[in-house]
Amino acid sequence: MNKHTRTFAAVSLLLVSTQSVAAYAQSKLPETRDFALNNDEVAYDIIEGLTTEIGPRQGGTEAEARARIWSVSKLKSLGFENVRVEEYKMPTWVRGEETAEISSPFKQKLSVTALGNSGSTGETGIEAEIVYFPTLDDLRAAPDGSLKGKIAFVSHAMRRTQDGSSYGAFGPARFVGPNIAAKKGAAAIIIRSAGTDYHRNPHTGNTNFEAGVLPIPSGAISIPDAENLERMLARGKPVTMRLKLTPKNVGMQTSGNVIAELPGSNPQLPIIVIACHLDSWDLGTGAIDDAAGCGIIAAAAKHLQSYGKPKRTVRLLWAGAEEVGIWGGKDYGAKHATEAHGLAMESDFGAGKVWAADFLLPESAIDLKRQIIAALAPLGVVPRPNLAGGGADIGAIIAAQKPGIIDLQQDGTKYFDLHHTPDDTLDKIDKAELRQNVAAWVSVLALTANYEGALSPEVKP
């Protein structure tokens, strides 16, 4: 190295050391973003590992406990610090035997699965006439007591949407339909699966009963079976079903959140929490819901390490028991309610490409928002006027701390083909789309983790 080269190197080092970390992060961002877009293997490795070595991991079960052990080892191997498990207790429901068939007048079997928190028919099952409700509102309008000894069947008109909004519109058939049917005296309820595929796979998912309402047997049938049942009912003859669902509650069990951190250089700055959920339903191996989210956020945080120590601490929350009641998110919110959080983000909508970004930031962060929009543009991500709302696992900490929120909206057009079904498996992951997610996330983290201004919309400049 000659004299001039040494001088140039020294000046370059001085420039890097004296410019703000945020400016340095911004200058290096295209390189890191593009590397993640074209080369990331971390996210897929996490999904492959969880689905292969653990598989289904329902909250409160032994499989979820093994997933926590696996996750601690994986996150430590990736170089994260303060890796730990925060345990809590939760009521636990487990699946039993599941069968359904039309016993009269068109005898044939149906593909059925119990909904989380369903009551049991008992070992002998039940046989009863079906009462059909095309929509949840039709069920709501049924007179009290009119369903005594009957099986309610509720349909809906859920369709594919990019933003998943159809789930919000028609998912209540599952969320609250069983509770309504129980209050009206039904012996059981069957719903058209809350999904959009035409495979003969029913979609499970949680339902909840109000205090004082005895849970009734509650199941979902596949969409082809639901439409077949509608055709039977349209023939004008009474239709009876024989149903057997034997789930049970096994009492309070241990679940937990896996926490890991990328410590920041300024402990006075409120932290950034990025979340996914570690648990899954028991029918598939939980690749898109939500091993994908855990892979995405961990890979993005791993790539953020290429910048050196960020200004803000970035905390990974791999939440437990989300599917069966958001127990992990609630526990995190309670345990960390007084800890300053500047920003909260979550990935829990599969591995489809990020297509839009929603923001909830203070007006003082307008330049930061512009930088994020510019960094995301090469990935095909556009800003929306919608205010960001966060996800289930960060809901409690958002309520407690009122941090800023950035939602990276994934394409959910095909998500509800797989959601809560046996089809949620590794082969459904598109590696290119997964890498695009990681690139989008690291772009946001590189800018926000090195931003020293207020991120909470309630903090005045």
Only one residue has tokens 């909840």, namely: 208
Alpha helices in 244-359 (DSSP H): 292-304, 327-335
Residues 6 or more apart whose CB falls under 8 angstroms from that of 380 comprise: 353, 355, 436
**Residue 7 within a domain:** no
- Residue 446 burial by CB count (10 A; 0-12/13-18/19+): exposed, middle or buried? buried
> Are the C-beta atoms of 420 and 280 separated by less than 8 Å?
no
Shared-domain flag, residues 52 and 193? no
Q: Report the number of distinct structural domains present in the chain.
A: 2
**Residue 455 within a domain:** no
Q: From first to last of the 461 residues of the chain, give the pLDDT tens digit.
A: 443 433 333 333 333 333 455 676 678 899 999 999 999 999 999 999 999 999 999 999 999 999 999 999 999 999 999 999 999 999 999 999 999 999 999 999 999 999 999 999 999 999 999 999 999 999 999 999 999 999 999 999 999 999 999 999 999 999 999 999 999 999 999 999 999 999 999 999 999 999 999 999 999 999 999 999 999 999 999 999 999 999 999 999 999 999 999 999 999 999 999 999 999 999 999 999 999 999 999 999 999 998 889 999 999 999 999 999 999 999 999 999 999 999 999 999 999 999 999 999 999 999 999 999 999 999 999 999 999 999 999 999 999 999 999 999 999 999 999 999 999 999 999 999 999 999 999 999 999 999 999 999 986 44
Instruction: Give the separation between CA 459 and CA 461, rounded to whole angstroms.
Output: 7
Closest listed residue to residue 115, CA positions, set 164, 58, 178: 178
Shared-domain flag, residues 275 and 374? yes
| pLDDT computed for residue 307 by the predictor | 85
Domain stop point among 190, 219, 246: 246
Instruction: Give the separation between CA 400 and CA 422, rounded to whole angstroms.
Output: 36
Only one residue has tokens 């996210």, namely: 43
- Largest alpha-carbon pair distance within the chain? 96
| pLDDT computed for residue 459 by the predictor | 62
CATH of the domain at 423: 3.40.630.10
What strand order describes the sheet that includes 126-133?
108-110, 98-104, 240-245, 126-133, 151-154, 188-192, 218-221, 112-114
| pLDDT computed for residue 321 by the predictor | 98
**Residue 134 within a domain:** yes
| pLDDT computed for residue 15 by the predictor | 34
Instruction: Give the separation between CA 461 and CA 444, rounded to whole angstroms.
Output: 21
End-to-end CA distance of the chain: 48
**Residue 61 within a domain:** yes
Shared-domain flag, residues 43 and 130? no
CB contact burial 331-355 (16+ within 10 A = b; e otherwise): bbbeebeeeebbbbbbbbbbbbbbb
CATH of the domain at 140: 3.50.30.30
Phi/psi-derived region of residue 351, left when phi > 0, alpha when psi is between -120 and 50, beta in every other case: alpha
What number of residues does the chain have?
461
| pLDDT computed for residue 255 by the predictor | 98
| pLDDT computed for residue 7 by the predictor | 34
Per the structure, the complete domain to which residue 76 belongs is given by 22-93+252-448
Shared-domain flag, residues 198 and 291? no
> Are the C-beta atoms of 151 and 188 separated by less than 8 Å?
yes
| pLDDT computed for residue 22 by the predictor | 62
Shared-domain flag, residues 266 and 364? yes
| pLDDT computed for residue 26 by the predictor | 73
Instruction: Give the separation between CA 52 and CA 43, rounded to whole angstroms.
Output: 14
> Are the C-beta atoms of 447 and 25 separated by less than 8 Å?
yes
**Residue 207 within a domain:** yes
